[in-house]
Chains A and B, each alone.
Chain A
Amino acid sequence: MPVLLATDVLVWLLVAAAAAYGLHCRRHEHLAAPWARVFRSPAAIASTVVLAFYFGAGLLDSLHFRPQLPQKPDAGQKVYSVEVLSVLDWTLAHLRGRTEKTYSAPLAIRSFAREQVELPGGKIAREFPRLQFGGAHLAKEGHWASDVGWRVFKGLGFAAAILLAAAIGMRILRVRWPEVPWNAAVWALGGLLVLLVPALVLSGGYHVLGTDKVGNDVFYQALKSIRTSLVIGTVTTLVLLPLGIALGIMAGYFRGWVDDVIQYLYTTLNSIPGVLLIAASVLMMQVVIDRHPEWFATAAHRADAKLLVLCAILGLTSWTGLARLLRGETLKLSELEYIQAAHALGVRGSRVISRHILPNVAHIVIIAMVMDFSGLVLAEAVLSYVGVGVDPSTSSFGTMINSARMEMSREPVVWWALATAFGFMFVLVLAANLLADAVRDGFDPRVRMAGTPKAVAA
């Protein structure tokens, strides 16, 4: 039974909007030109490839359904589980189901913690037991090295094959768009494939990145966390944009008391310390959600509502920067002769805004959107860490860091969960930052933006 979560709807709407925008740009030369400039940068093209991987995982994780329970012969209607799964869960079912008892190191075949084991003689010893799933297919522990080696080799083979196909494909693309540095794309893709494909092949028999305290696969958790980051990074802008654009342009265009009111609004919002405002709003909304369990069919719906609310609150508290920029830009634009002329001709304000001002500030909006993304991803981690972030049942990098942090004081150190969260987050944010730089350079290198929402600055 398919399930539509609110954030799924928004994510897919955004995808559709992005596709429509892409088509629109293709038809209009002046809109396509800055994008062409962006994609002349090797860094931009490489980070696009990386981001495409993240978005792919996130989108797969945004198609939800409720699995059917085993049908009983006598029961008439179909019965569904209350658990909500996504297509990603379904593809990675082998990772999701295989939970060990507790920690195990990456690629380990024995548990990380000693356990009380009953010896054949009835005596009790304390030793590292074999894992239930990790390396369970090995007849002898000594086969571990050769098995891992063979799987890596197989993975690299697959990766090479895919890369070869991709390289050929790009040769064709190069004919069509010769100015794009396709080599960078091939390199980025190569890097991704070399890491990812062997990891996937290995994950068939092992926990590639180990398991956490209750034995869940860390690699799977990291993949699940991607969606949360993407939703926070994109859906938030969906809330932020209309507010920022409308209020910013109105303040700059109408001036007078409208300007005063809007300026008052954003000074007031800005003057409350960011984390406090976000924390108080999040706590408040959580109480509202928790008070009304009847609004939500399943725990997944409730967790999703909390994610959505977090996005909305982040959006509501961080539109001020964009509004301020747009206000300034609109002030400048409305001094221009042709807009003054439009006024003189008696053109209505709404028409002037939509025909003349909006198109001329669009580049600022695009830059703001791209630049906010990485800041929001980082903000999510901090907020979840502080305890005002996503629902604890939602995988996210923040919750991963939070639970992994305690492990650093163990001896020997359990480093893999933290390292995984670090790696996945670092690559995502780095790619987003590089792309944002290229976008800014391509559109308007002079726009100054403090790119980070309030929460992180604190």
Chain B
Amino acid sequence: MPRQCSETCLELLALELVRAYGRQSRVPPAAAVDAIGFRTGRQLAERYTANRARLGEPLEVIKFVCKEFWMEVFRKQVDNLRTNHRGTFVLKDNTFRWLAKLSVDPAPPAGAAATRAVASVAELARDYLVLPCALVRGALAHLGVNAAVTAEAAVPPACEFTVTIKPR
């Protein structure tokens, strides 16, 4: 039986991680969080692939990440996977759970507030997407797919991850 932990604890930890690194000034926060995520992604990949058949092609690895890895880490599967068949994959998650509870301080003035609030949640989401991106990148790298991963949440909690496989 694997050890389990409450989802709330994980959410709070992810929030606090971004906040703690955001407040200190020794290392750039994004780089520090990225390094943590990359390392954790590698370890998770090792664990989650232990009891399954061998993966071969990069496409199989991406599918594994979309289904099993996503299920384990983000508690659901990716909703939509698109590719241009030239090494770029777009993973769309319509309700990305790590962003589900993200919100900005209630905008004080009325009027233009509606549009501004949405824009700033998307902006806020950028900081919180560094960790998931790094997790995915770490898992892919450990399974033999070197890729760059970026994420954008235009309308949180919907979120699009773009995976670009680097040529060898």
Whether A and B are associated in the same complex: the answer reads no
Q: Which residues of B contact A (CB under 8 A)?
A: none
